[in-house]
Chain A
Amino acid sequence: MFIATSVSSGVVVLVGAVFLASCVEMVEALTIVFAVGHIRGWRSAFEGTGAALVVLAALVAAFGPALVHVPLNILRLIVGGVLLIFGMQWLRKSILRASGFKAKHDEDAIYEETVATLRATGATPGRDRIAFVMAFKGVFLEGLEVIILVITLGTSAHRLGLAAIVAAIAVVLVGLCGVVVAKQLSSVPENALKMSVGVLLVTYGTFWTGEGLKVKWPGGDTMLIGLTAIYAVITWLFVLALRRESQSRSNAMSA
């Protein structure tokens, strides 16, 4: 009974973290690909996307299996540290956005910015190199983040296959949504997604940094649920406190 509970809590947190992180990154990549496709034609957009996917697959094939040979404690310490850094960066950004200290991540603005850049460069004869490079860069950089998360989370939890399947489902789902609505995904509540992923990444980061340093967490994997709850409450408190501060600042400025 206990084993079933601890396995399922670890899996739930893993699936949640990988799925949400993949959705967020996919939305960002898709926005750029749509901008390139609409302005410069779909051929260059698809070629850039395809080339990026091939390079990403090659990177996974080259580095993925090698990670299995790294001793588990060292792997978990490195992965834990990276996830703590990455998770706190996401959490910090989303808290600042939710409290009004930073402008919300606006997919419409990214779309317009990409469109403006493409229009400014003008048409090129033959193959559209600029459109190809923009689509490639967008998909490659966002995809690389997904791959780092899938490999680090999946390998450390001994569930690389599951993490890869969940990420693939997220990528296909967001892609299908993008195709159906045929526009950038500005209506996705990206900040809320980012905040949830931040909480989960910091949770895993704390857990594996501890495991890498031979900390025995009370309750084993079940502690992941406890840490998620603690970080979620603290995030909510930070948002409330900063929202009040932001509000009092704007009141003072308007007075």
Chain B
Amino acid sequence: MNEDSPLVLRLIWGFARFWWDFLVGDTPEIFVAVLVIVGAIALLSEGGHFNASAVVVLPVLAVLTLAASLLRATRSSRRE
């Protein structure tokens, strides 16, 4: 997208880029993990004892996601 592109196209491109940077950015693993968390809790709702498991599983998966993302960051800093 360059300066010669129509204004509407540039605005749409800028809007899409903002949301991409906002939600994915340099941590695609967090974006994917949150989709997985939502899917996992939705699947749990199909089984018995849904509420008790979801109350525990949701925060645990969030912490595991953060841990995995931190691990990825520290590993990449080790390689630099």
Contacts and interface: CB of A to CB of B under 8 A. Distances in A.
A230 B41 contact: no
Given A206-B62, A209-B37, A217 B55 contact: yes
A209 B18 contact: no
A231 B67 CA distance: 12
A88 B31 CA distance: 10
Interface in B23-56: 23, 25, 27, 30-31, 34-35, 37-38, 41-42, 45, 50-51, 54-55
Contact of A227 (B27, B59, B77): B59
Given A215-B54, A215-B55, A85 B70 contact: no
Name the residue among B23, B34, B42 with the largest chain A CB count within 10 angstroms.
Answer: B34
A214 B65 contact: no
Name the residue among A84, A102, A217 with the largest chain B CB count within 10 angstroms.
Answer: A84
Contacts of B25: 89
Where chain B touches its partner, the secondary structure class is helix
B34 A242 contact: no
B71 to A, nearest CB: 10
Nearest to B40: A213
Interface in A155-171: none
A234 B63 contact: yes
Contact of A88 (B50, B58, B62): B62
Contact of A92 (B35, B41, B63, B73): B73
Contacts of B37: 84, 209
A141 B15 CA distance: 11
Interface size class of A (residues with CB under 8 A): 35 or more
Contact of A215 (B18, B51, B69, B77): B51
A210 B69 contact: no
B67 A216 contact: no
A202 B58 CA distance: 11
Given A209-B41, A215-B58, A227-B59, A88 B30 contact: yes
Interface size class of B (residues with CB under 8 A): 20 to 34
A101 B58 CA distance: 28
B5 interface: no
Contacts of A217: 55
Given A95-B70, A144-B18, A242-B74, A209 B55 contact: no
A118 interface: no
B16 interface: no
A119 B73 CA distance: 34
Given A209-B38, A213-B45, A218-B55, A91 B66 contact: yes
Nearest to A212: B38
Top 4 A-B pairs, shortest CB-CB distance: A215-B54, A213-B41, A88-B30, A84-B34
Interface of A: 77, 81-82, 84-86, 88-89, 91-92, 95-96, 101-102, 141, 144-145, 148, 202, 205-206, 209-210, 213-218, 227, 230-231, 234, 238, 242, 245, 249
25 contacts: A81-B34, A81-B35, A84-B37, A85-B23, A86-B22, A88-B62, A88-B65, A89-B27, A92-B27, A92-B70, A101-B73, A102-B77, A141-B18, A144-B18, A206-B59, A209-B37, A213-B42, A213-B54, A214-B45, A215-B41, A215-B51, A215-B55, A216-B51, A231-B62, A234-B63
